Amino acid sequence: MRIYMQTIQGQDQPLRFYQLHLQKDLLGSWILVRESGFQGGRGQVKRSYFKHRDEAEQAMSRLRDMQAKRGYRVVFREGSSKEAG
């Protein structure tokens, strides 16, 4: 599951991105990867670990909503919570 967000580019502000990626690790836990930065540049990466997928999806939704309030909009979404995993 992946969500890619961007800001709207202004004259004085460079385009920024925020990406959320959810993946299962080899031990059955879930990792929420957050990457953010300026478009075309190196981003900052942070990882959060969750025992259950539901917890990870809730955290992903909270982060998406928080970034939307800061002016980011969803550009690309892949996968859904309905997929088997």
Domain ranges, ordered by start, for the chain: 2-78
Structure tokens at 60: 């992903």
pLDDT at 69: 96
Fold for the domain defined by 2-78:
q64v53_bacfr protein fold (2.20.140)
Tens digits of per-residue pLDDT, 26-78? 999 999 999 999 988 888 999 999 999 999 999 999 999 999 999 999 999 99
Q: Are the C-beta atoms of residues 5 and 62 closer than 8 Å to each other?
A: no
What burial class does residue 5 get, using C-beta atoms within 10 Å of its C-beta: 0-12 exposed, 13-18 middle, 19+ buried?
A: buried
Tell me the whole-structure pTM to 2 decimals.
Answer: 0.84
Structure tokens at 84: 């088997």
* 3-state secondary structure (DSSP) of residue 68: helix
Residue 84 has pLDDT above 60, yes or no: no
